[in-house]
Amino acid sequence: MFTSSDNNKKLFLGIDGGGSKCKAIVMNENNEILGTGVSGPGNPLHGFEQATNSITESALLALKDAGLAHIELSELIAGVGLAGVNLPVLFEQMQAWQHPFKQMFLATDLLIACLGAHQGSDGAVMISGTGSCGFASIDEQYYMLGAHGFPHGDKGSGAWFGLQAAKQVLLAIDGIVAPTIMTEVLLKKLGCHNDTELVETIAGKAATYYAQLANLVFDAAEQGDKVALEIVAEGAEYINSIALALIAKKPPRISMIGGLTIRLKPWLSKDIQQQLSEPLSPPEVGSVLFARKEAAKIQPVS
């Protein structure tokens, strides 16, 4: 069992904080996974206090899962990758947080996702979850595409697909576009009976709300629904364009990650699919790899 008196031992915490949940992982100095934890939203764009609470809670859950509940957070070297901190004002806010850890190294969720997918080596990732973007890390140079946020950006994401479903169902009810099997499914899912109730239900909802509707678009497309097929084709074409732009940077590997990957990947062009490599580790492991690297710059990690 790890004890705080053993000064030759180090524990690392990896955080992957997104718009819907915050995932934590505790690893030892041999990069062995000891425990994991999941809590609420970790994107500071939707609230600084919510994000910091989620980070702390997920860390404590990971320690408990590892059987290390006796370990204080102040003994952990933390790598914290968060959505939203690509915006300088949010990065500065999180950097100024009086965190409870021994050390904290802050990065974007894009960087830690890329590091995890390629086990700390150079590479590129396309991300399609609640949001969407492309990112590459090559020779310590970073390239980012998209990540502009919902609803003005994040095309090809779960939120975007869900929003398109709602839009097209409203048009179908009005008879502007062809009837779609998504209409009955969406109305039933949301407990609505007509277009007025649907508008009242979805008005002002956040990206995470719309993202929960994404699967019904793919379900309908797989049944040959014309309207759903057009939505999927448009979203897939955007992700294809992101992939091509990343491939032009000549990364050694490129992976696709995010909660929508399993549904969207088969709709990408065959050429793109053939160039994709399976991610080697999840983003939270990438956070640990980032923390180890940054900590070694200050004091070499044994």
What are the extents of the domains in the chain? 11-119+281-298, 158-275
The token pair at 94 is 């999180």
Between the CA of residue 224 and those of 136, 156, 183, 188, what are the distances in Å?
A: 35, 19, 14, 20
Q: Which residues contact 32 (CB under 8 A, 6 or more apart)?
A: none
Quote the DSSP letter at residue 143. Answer: E
- How buried is residue 131: exposed, middle or buried, by Cβ count under 10 Å (0-12/13-18/19+)? buried
- State the CB neighbour count (10 A cutoff) for residue 72: 12
b/e per residue 229-262 (b: at least 16 CB within 10 A): bbbbeebbebbbbbbebbeebebebbbbbbbbbe
Question: How far is the CA of 34 from the CAs of 12, 17, 29, 61, 68, in angstroms?
Answer: 10, 19, 11, 12, 9
At residue 54's C-alpha, the angle toward residues 40 and 130, to 5°, is 45
Find out whether 30 and 51 touch, Cβ atoms under 8 Å.
no
Q: State the architecture of 11-119+281-298 in CATH terms.
A: 2-Layer Sandwich (3.30)
| pLDDT for position 149 | 80
Q: Taking the alpha carbons of 57, 62, 64, 69 in that order, is the dihedral positive or negative?
A: negative
DSSP 14: E
The structure tokens 């809590």 sit at 39
Asked if domains 11-119+281-298 and 158-275 share a fold, the reply is: yes
3-state secondary structure of 147: coil
**pLDDT score of 82:** 94
Note down pLDDT in tens along the chain; length 302 residues. 444 444 447 899 999 998 778 999 999 998 899 999 999 989 898 899 999 999 999 999 999 999 999 999 999 999 999 988 988 999 999 999 999 999 999 999 999 999 999 999 999 999 998 889 999 999 989 999 988 888 888 999 999 999 999 999 999 999 999 999 999 999 999 999 999 999 999 999 988 899 999 999 999 999 999 999 999 999 999 999 999 999 999 999 999 998 899 999 999 999 999 999 999 999 999 999 999 999 988 865 54
Handedness of CA 147, 148, 151, 156 (dihedral sign): negative
Is CATH 3.40.50.300 the right assignment for the domain spanning 158-275? no
Report DSSP letters for 22-48, one per residue: EEEEEEETT--EEEEEEES---GGG-H
The model's pTM is 0.85
